[in-house]
Amino acid sequence: GNSVTQMEGPVTLSEEAFLTINCTYTATGYPSLFWYVQYPGEGLQLLLKATKADDKGSNKGFEATYRKETTSFHLEKGSVQVSDSAVYFCALSDRPGGSYIPTFGRGTSLIVHP
Amino acid sequence: EPEVTQTPSHQVTQMGQEVILRCVPISNHLYFYWYRQILGQKVEFLVSFYNNEISEKSEIFDDQFSVERPDGSNFTLKIRSTKLEDSAMYFCASSERSGGVNQPQHFGDGTRLSIL
């Protein structure tokens, strides 16, 4: 079956530090990969996605590259801000039985201090 | 920007009682979903709904769960006889078409269900 493994949090950084949140996956097919973000008290929002190998998804300064050879989709940002404090979920989606139901990781909490 | 709205934000219920969680999906969306997230664990798919019927459900979605679209705007999740282990955050989501890669699901802010 499909699964997503994320690094455990919380990740605590100072403002303007470099961020990496690791994500690896196992999938039976050729999945699409996603990062979702959940700000405090809110629902999940799609942050970025990549649909095939070597694609790079990017949004709001965040980037992640689909690495098929290492089955990874690590999230990076060059300079984090306090407003980036949230929980980040890596997810994959393929099409078993004809529907795209995402499989989520456990989430990684990011805390950014001023 | 249109939003998925969920009510209530927090529901406290005695074990064994029925609970209904409500969601208003984005108005032109056709596919609806429920997920749950037990505290500290991953988000888990429960059920998807299209054209007034369940299109897919997970092993979690057993006979105590049901979903309904009672009118043109609401989408509800009913838990018939709640158990302690039903305590979780429940998220509703909707998408314009089947949740393919170019049709992301839009999530509500969730309902925190606490079973006592």
Q: pLDDT for A79-110, tens place per residue?
A: 999 999 999 999 988 765 445 678 889 999 99
**Per-residue confidence (pLDDT) for residue A71, from 0 to 100:** 96
Q: Which of A100, A103, A109 to mutate to test the interface with B (most CBs of B within 10 A)?
A: A100
DSSP secondary structure, A6-68, as one string = E--S-EEEETT--EEE-EEEE-SS--EEEEEEE-TTS-EEEEEEE-STT-EEEETTEEEE-BT
Contact list in A for residue B38 (CB cut-off 8 A) is none
**Per-residue confidence (pLDDT) for residue A98, from 0 to 100:** 47
Give the minimum alpha-carbon distance from B115 to chain A in angstroms, rounded to a whole number.
20
Max distance between CA atoms of chain A, in angstroms, equals 47
DSSP secondary structure, B16-80, as one string = T--EEEEEE--TT--EEEEEEE-TTS-EEEEEEEETTEEEEE-TT--TTEEEE--SSS-EEEEES
Measured distance CA(A11)–CA(A37) in Å, rounded = 14
Measured distance CA(A80)–CA(A83) in Å, rounded = 8
If you average pLDDT over every residue of chain A, what do you get?
90
Q: Of B58 and A62, which is predicted with more confidence?
A: A62
Pairing state of beta strands B65-68 and B53-57?
unpaired
Mean pLDDT, residues B95-99: 72
Amino acid at A76: E
- Lowest pLDDT segment from A54-63, B32-41, B52-61, B99-108: B99-108
**Per-residue confidence (pLDDT) for residue B103, from 0 to 100:** 64
Residue A72 pLDDT class (50, 70, 90 cuts):
very high
Residue B2 pLDDT class (50, 70, 90 cuts):
confident
**Per-residue confidence (pLDDT) for residue B51, from 0 to 100:** 87
Q: Of A18 and B71, which is predicted with more confidence?
A: A18
Mean pLDDT, residues A38-61: 90
Measured distance CA(A92)–CA(A39) in Å, rounded = 20
Amino acid at B43: V
Contact list in B for residue A36 (CB cut-off 8 A) is 107
User: Is the predicted pLDDT of residue B100 greater than 80, yes or no?
Assistant: no
Q: pLDDT for B25-84, tens place per residue?
A: 998 888 899 999 998 788 899 999 988 899 889 999 999 999 999 887 899 999 999 999
Nearest to A42, CA basis, from B103, B89, B1, B44:
B89
Contact list in A for residue B104 (CB cut-off 8 A) is 34, 46, 49
User: Is the predicted pLDDT of residue A73 greater than 80, yes or no?
Assistant: yes
